[in-house]
Amino acid sequence: MIISDLMPGILLCRHAATSKKQLLETLCRRTAQHAGLCERTVLDAVIEREKLGSTAIGDGIALPHATVAGATTTSMLLATLEQPVDFGSPDGQPVDIVMLVLGNARDGAGHLAALGVVSDQLRASSHFLR
């Protein structure tokens, strides 16, 4: 059974990160631990997705995401950053709000629907998070 909840399971406020790589490693580790998943599997999946193109969506927001075999829920971590980091955003702005979304490989449609809703919500409320 696949369970999806659009509330982030983990909040990380004013996180100190100096690079995209360091940020992704920390977010993947924490989300994997929270979801009971293998840290290496999560990081590898997120990095593979990033190789297809940056998951930054502009306005200082990034939505790194991946599907992970073995996940039984859609797991999310919302982080605000102490200092913005370069994420290869299409608008050239560094990011300071990041929502990592991990979905189940068998529920690709649910994962994509969650990303759409999260993207809209973050854009609408980003000024409250900063």
Catalytic residues: 65
Q: Give CA separation, 55 vs 24, 44, 81, 89, in Å.
A: 12, 15, 16, 8
Compute CA distances 86 → 23, 60, 95, 99, whole Å.
10, 9, 6, 15
Q: What is the three-state SS of 99-113? A: EEEEEECCCHHHHHH
Per the CB < 8 A criterion, the answer to whether 23 and 81 are in contact is yes
